[in-house]
Amino acid sequence: MNMLEKTKEYDYLKIFSIVSCWNISLDKIFQDMQIEGSPERSDFRTVISDKAGKLYVLEKLKPDSFNKRKSIAEYLKYFFECGVRVIPFIQNSQGDFISNFEDDYWMISAFKYNKLLDRNNYWKEGWRGKNTAEVLCNLYRASDKINIAEPLFLLEDYVFNLKSAIKHYFPELHNELIPIYEHLENEFWDAYKVFPRGFCHGDPH
């Protein structure tokens, strides 16, 4: 690959300057490498390597996400230091998680290779449940000592919004789910009010 070739809207020289905020000596940019996670959470992201061959994910933040992403980075650092298996963001040469370059905000984390998930069969693999439970338990134990400044996630609001969206876009599915909605209203929500609250992960739902 020609390293002066445009990488989407960012060329090699610009990315070289950006990652120098972390004292990373840029070697290569991998335009086509698969990055797990939701791409819409950032304006731009790519995998890069340094001269030693270490891989990173470089991402440009959405303009309105600075405070939230900074908070997430601080939580990840805390949990990583507590021994929870998370991938923390890397602090730059100033000790900050986010670097400002030409009025844009950037973050870097280590890149980990992932095997693509077989979405038809992964739920049958028991080891995944065991590992997920271990992470969730470790998160819960570690969060007992952390001051969580974020607003509490309200499951009732989430379900209400999801229910409204399903009714609007998938009315037939909405009708099939009515018995579940009734169970939530008649039995679950009262029990849910006494559930212990703790730091969790949004994906195991």
Task: Name the residue type at position 45.
Answer: R
Q: Which residues make Cβ contacts (< 8 Å) with residue 109, sequence separation at least 6?
A: 56, 57, 87, 88, 89, 90
> What's the pLDDT at 8?
52
Q: Determine the distance from the C-alpha atom of residue 177 to the mean position of all C-alpha atoms in its chain, rounded to a whole number.
A: 29
- pLDDT for res 9: 53
Contact by Cβ (8 Å): 24, 49:
no
pLDDT of residue 11: 84
For the chain, 205 residues long, give each residue's pLDDT as a single digit of tens: 333 344 555 688 999 999 999 999 999 999 888 888 888 889 999 999 999 999 999 999 998 999 999 999 999 999 999 998 899 999 999 999 999 999 999 999 999 988 778 888 988 899 988 988 898 888 888 887 777 666 778 889 999 999 999 999 999 999 999 999 999 999 999 999 888 777 777 776 5
